[in-house]
Amino acid sequence: MNTFQAPKGTYDLLPPDSAVYLAVREAISAPLRNSGYGYIETPGFENVELFARGVGESTDIVTKEMYTLTTKGGSELALRPEGTASVLRAALEANLHKAGNLPVKLWYSGSYYRYERPQKGRYRHFSQVGAEAIGAEDPALDAELIILADQAYRSLGLTGFRILLNSLGDKECRPVYREALQTFLRDLDLDDETRRRIEINPLRVLDDKRRDVQRQLTDAPKLRDYLCDACRVYHAEVRDLLTAAGVAYEDDERLVRGLDYYTRTTFEFVHDGLGAQSAVGGGGRYDGLSEMIGGPELPSVGWALGVDRTVLALEAEGITLQLPPATSVFAVPLGDEARRLLFGVVTELRRAGVAADFSFGAKGLKGAMKNANRSGARFTVVLGERDLAEGVAQVKDMESGEQKPVPLAALVADLTAKLT
Ligand code: ATP
Ligand code: MG
């Protein structure tokens, strides 16, 4: 029988690389946890209708990329392709918005699923860390989220990313622009699918990556010229707050993002070292989403950053994260009595907060020392029969190669002191 392989478009996270993923999740969420965002976890699947309504019937995510399934009980579910609709659904269901403490600020971290053509940086199973601020219309909130994402990337040492910023207008001015854009687009030379898109979601046509389409869009009406006064003032305030915070951004008229629910502020983080899959994260304001999924009016803003692509961005910039050692002390017993004693020492070290590991299984000294080397431990403790008789253990500094006997009674204190 053939052995199994991970499904197409997926990959396994394995040590030691998996430690980098954990560190990236940690780094992205740290600024959020420090800014009043509470952790939320929602199911990996939802009713398909939530995404159809919440993400939008005309989006690639819903029309092409969703993993849907019918349960034995006849429910139509979908593996979650993104986080916002689920988080808002959960917040509404739990009435978090009625607790009198708006905005409700939440962050999440997890797996997302999209049936895409797999490429480097584009997978069918990937990870995001996201943040949503629900129930407040305040340019400072939009700015806060962009600033926190910038802080997260910088804390990882990344510098090769850019922030693209745009405003999509609101329910006053967007429809006027939409019509002007449709009139313009209908005269262009486009394929049938794109023609259909003009009628359903014309802004998405601006997002078309094909060069022959982009060439025809040069003279397209600009949303900026259609923004109503309220949207104009709002956008100017977001920009001023970013500038005051020292966060550089680029205005990008073409940035409409893939989802239907965005209003006003939209932004994307792109990294120039990633080739075609350059977006490491994105987000925006979604003032209409709550009503679209049956809730009250709750203007909100959020983002999701891709963990996989952030790791690729680190690689592209040649950044190695300074991670705490997985093992600081590796214990090598020789003989049964030494084994019992050293196992106790390892347990004590661990309880004292020292990362310690042990040579398990029946192994000779040579094999055990190989394990010790591989573990990356700073110190190896060897306990042989003669040591035992003398009441000492040999502590080897793996960096200098120096080895010294340490009395067994002082072993834990000695190692703990050396490592802290
Ligand atoms: P793209 O334009 O590359 O398809 P997107 O606009 O579909 O990206 P979002 O829905 O905004 O992406 O998701 C936020 C982030 O999640 C992206 O910026 C990216 O880093 C990550 N992401 C999205 N889809 C994938 C995927 N299939 N594989 C890996 N990461 C992904
Ligand atoms: Mg996509």
Q: How far apart are the first and last CA of the chain?
A: 51
Residue 40 near residue 108 (C-beta atoms within 8 A): yes
275 backbone dihedrals φ, ψ, rounded to 5°: 65, -140
pLDDT tens for each residue of 64-77: 999 999 999 999 99
Residue 245 carries which DSSP code? Answer: T
Residue 194 near residue 289 (C-beta atoms within 8 A): no
**How many Å apart are CA 320 and CA 301, to the nearest integer?**
32
User: What is the sign, positive or negative, of the torsion defined by CA atoms of 151, 154, 158, 161?
Assistant: positive
Place 203 in a pLDDT band, splitting at 50, 70 and 90: confident
Distance 7 CA to ligand 2 centre (A): 19
Q: Single out the residue of 283, 182, 181 nearest to residue 226, CA to CA.
A: 181
133 and 67 housed in the same domain: yes
Q: Is pLDDT above 70 for 260? A: no
CB of residue 164 inside a 6 A radius of ligand 1? no
342 and 304 housed in the same domain: no
Domain's final residue, options 316, 348, 377? 316
pLDDT tens for each residue of 236-255: 999 999 999 999 999 998 88
Domain's final residue, options 295, 316, 337? 316
Q: Count of CB atoms within 10 A of residue 339's CB?
A: 18
Q: Single out the residue of 206, 98, 46 nearest to residue 55, CA to CA.
A: 46
pLDDT tens for each residue of 340-389: 999 999 999 999 999 999 999 988 899 999 999 999 999 999 999 999 99
Residues forming a β-bridge with 267: 165, 283
333 and 295 housed in the same domain: no
**How many Å apart are CA 277 and CA 181, to the nearest integer?**
27
236 and 365 housed in the same domain: no
Place 296 in a pLDDT band, splitting at 50, 70 and 90: very high
| CATH number (domain holding residue 288) | 3.30.930.10
**How many Å apart are CA 283 and CA 299, to the nearest integer?**
14
Residue 119 near residue 276 (C-beta atoms within 8 A): yes
Percent of the chain with pLDDT over 90: 87
150 and 287 housed in the same domain: yes
143 and 291 housed in the same domain: yes
**How many Å apart are CA 81 and CA 409, to the nearest integer?**
56
Q: Is pLDDT above 90 for 184? A: yes
> What token pair was written down for 48?
């398909």
pLDDT tens for each residue of 11-30: 999 999 999 999 999 999 99
**How many Å apart are CA 197 and CA 61, to the nearest integer?**
14
Total domains present in the chain: 2
CB of residue 126 inside a 6 A radius of ligand 1? yes
Best of 208, 285, 308 to mutate for ligand 1, by most ligand atoms within 8 A of CB?
308
CB of residue 282 inside a 6 A radius of ligand 1? yes
Residue 178 placed within a domain: no
Index of the ligand 1 atom closest to the CA of residue 128: 16
Q: Single out the residue of 8, 36, 39 nearest to residue 110, CA to CA.
A: 39
pLDDT of residue 258: 62
| CATH number (domain holding residue 348) | 3.40.50.800
**How many Å apart are CA 349 and CA 127, to the nearest integer?**
34
Residue nearest to atom 22 of ligand 1 (CA): 306
pLDDT tens for each residue of 46-62: 999 999 999 888 788 99
Average model confidence (pLDDT) across the chain: 95
Residue 290 near residue 88 (C-beta atoms within 8 A): yes
Residue 32 near residue 131 (C-beta atoms within 8 A): yes
pLDDT tens for each residue of 305-324: 999 999 999 999 999 999 98
Best of 113, 128, 262 to mutate for ligand 1, by most ligand atoms within 8 A of CB?
128
pLDDT of residue 361: 92
> What token pair was written down for 124?
């069918």
294 and 356 housed in the same domain: no
pTM metric for this prediction: 0.94
Residue nearest to atom 26 of ligand 1 (CA): 122
> What token pair was written down for 149?
């994402």
Residue 381 placed within a domain: yes
CB of residue 308 inside a 6 A radius of ligand 1? yes
CA 411 to chain centre: 42
Q: Is pLDDT above 70 for 259? A: no
Domain of residue 80: give its range.
Answer: 17-173+227-316
Q: Single out the residue of 138, 74, 79 nearest to residue 105, CA to CA.
A: 138
**How many Å apart are CA 80 and CA 69, to the nearest integer?**
12
Residue for token pair 């959960």: 90
Measured at the CA of 201, the angle between CA 310 and CA 137, to 5 degrees, comes to 65
Residue 9 placed within a domain: no
pLDDT tens for each residue of 26-39: 999 999 999 999 99
User: What is the sign, positive or negative, of the torsion defined by CA atoms of 88, 94, 96, 97?
Assistant: positive
pLDDT tens for each residue of 77-126: 999 999 999 999 999 999 999 988 899 999 999 999 999 999 999 999 99
